[in-house]
Chains A and B, each alone.
Chain A
Amino acid sequence: MARISVDTGKCIGSAQCVLAAPDVFDQDDDGFVTVLDSTPSGEAEATARTASGICPAQAITVHD
C-alpha cells in the first residue's frame, strides 16, 4: 500500500491521472485533481504510480 498526495496548486487539469488511474483520481468541476483513494493497493497502486510518472505538472507524489 502507498499513500498519495497531490499539489492542486501545480495541477493543470490535463486529466492524465484520471485516464491512467480512474479508481484513484478524479477531477472536480473546476478541472483540478481530486483523490478518490489516498491509500491504494494492488492494481490501483500500480496505476497511481503510472499517473504520477506521466503527470505533466509533476503534481502527484506517491509515498511508500
Chain B
Amino acid sequence: MSTDAAELVPFMLRRPGAPFPPPEYEEFRTKPGLVKAALPSGETVWLVTRHEEVRAVLTDPRISSNPTHEGFPRPSRTVGAPSADEVPGWFVSLDPPDHNRFRKALIPEFTVRRIRSLRPAVEEIVDRAIDQMLARGDTAELVEDFSLTVPSLVISSLLGVPKVDRDFFEEKTKVLVTLTSTDEERDKASEHLLRYINRLITIKSKRPGDDLISRLLQGGLLTPQELSGVSMLLLIAGHETTANNISLGVVTLLQQKQWIGDERMIEELLRYHSVADLVALRVAIEDVEIGGQLVRAGEGIVPLVAGANHDPEMFERPHEFDPSRSATGHVAFGYGVHQCLGQNLVRLEMDVAYRGLFRRIPTLEVAVPLEELRFKYDGVLFGLHALPVRW
C-alpha cells in the first residue's frame, strides 16, 4: 500500500446537487480494502463505505472513540470531538467500560415509553413555531424559523430549562451550530450556555423538578460536573442534526407529496439523507483487519454512514427515495454502543413537525428553484443553510 499524496482523496468530498453522498463513494465501495484519505492537516485516515464494514468498525473493541489516542482523526478545530478529559461527561468520546455508566444513567430518559409521553410537549412547541410563522405573513426561512427552533426548544424542555429562559437558550445554541459563526462567537455562546447549565444544575439540586437534570441528580450515578458535560452533549448532538433532517425532509416530501402522512417515510428520510455522514470518528488501538485491509494501531478511521446507507448490497436502488422499502438496518444513527441515544426523540420530532407543517400549511412550497438551494456541502453535517418557503 502506498501513501503517495497524489493517490489520497480529500477527507471531505462534495455532495452533488442532490442529497446523495459524494459519487466517489460508489467507486470506493468497488475497491478491495479501504480507501486512504487526507485530512486538511495532512494526516491520513481510512474511509469505510460498505454497510457491512461500517458496522464492523463500529462494533470492534479494538477500535476506539477516544480522541486522546494517538492518531484520532482531527478534521478541524471545530470538528474535532472534545475528550471526556477536557469535558467530563462527554461520553460519546469514551469507550466501554467507562462509557457504560453514562449510557446506563441516560437510557431511562430515552425509552420508547418516555419519549412517547413527550408528544404533547413537542406538539405544543411545533404548533407555537407554526403560529409564529403564520403570524408573520406568507413566507418564511424554514431553517431559522422552524427547523432549528423546534429541536432547541425540545431539548431545553427535556433538560428542564424554565420557559422564560428558552429564548436565551435557543439564541445561544443557534450561534453554536451555525456554520457562519466565527470561532469567537461560538466560544462565547458555548461559555454562556455552560454557565447557564451549571446554574441550572445548582438550582435543580435544591429544588428538583420533573425533568432530566433533576432525575439524574437524584439518581446519583453522575456528578454535577459530569451532568453539565452530558447536558452540553445532548444539546449539541441533538440540535443541528435534527434541524438538518427536518429541512431536507421538507424539500424531499414536497417533491414526492404522495408520501406525506405515510409513517414509513421517517426511516427512509433518515437513510436517504444520512446527515451525520462524518460524525463517527474512530482510531484503531490495536492492529485490526477491516474488509481485508490491515489497519495499524494508531491509524484513524472514518466509517461513512451515508456510504453504508447507499450501499446497493444493502439497499436496492439506494438513490431513490422510496418509503415502501424497508429502510430498517440503516446506520444513520451509527451502530454499536454509541448508537444515537436521541434517535427515538428524533423520530417523534420529525413526525410531529411534518404532521404540523403539512396539516396547518397545506399550500407550503419551496420559494426558490431547487437548484438555488444552498446545501451544506462543506459542513460535517449535511443539510441546508437556508430554506425559503411560502404558502
Residues on A facing B (Cβ under 8 Å): 12-16, 18-20, 27, 29-32, 50, 53-54, 56-58
Contact = CB atoms under 8 A, between A and B. Distances in A.
Nearest to A29: B108
A29 B114 CA distance: 9
Contacts of A18: 112
Interface in B89-136: 103-104, 107-108, 110-113
Contacts of A50: 328
A56 B334 contact: yes
Contacts of B337: 12, 56-57
Interface in B259-285: none
Given A14-B339, A53-B329, A58 B107 contact: no
Most buried by B among A15, A20, A50, A58: A15
Given A14-B340, A30-B104, 20 more contacts: A12-B107, A13-B107, A14-B343, A15-B110, A15-B111, A20-B328, A30-B107, A30-B108, A31-B107, A31-B108, A50-B328, A53-B329, A54-B328, A56-B334, A56-B336, A56-B337, A56-B339, A57-B337, A57-B339, A58-B59
Interface in B335-351: 335-337, 339-341, 343-344
Given A56-B337, A56-B339, A57-B337, A13 B329 contact: no
B181 to A, nearest CB: 32
Interface residues of B, number: 22
A13 B104 CA distance: 8
Contacts of A57: 336-337, 339
A31 B339 contact: no
A56 B335 contact: yes
Contacts of B328: 20, 50, 54
Contacts of B111: 13, 15, 27, 29, 31
B112 A12 contact: no
A32 B58 CA distance: 21
Contacts of B58: 56
Nearest to A19: B112
Nearest to A32: B107
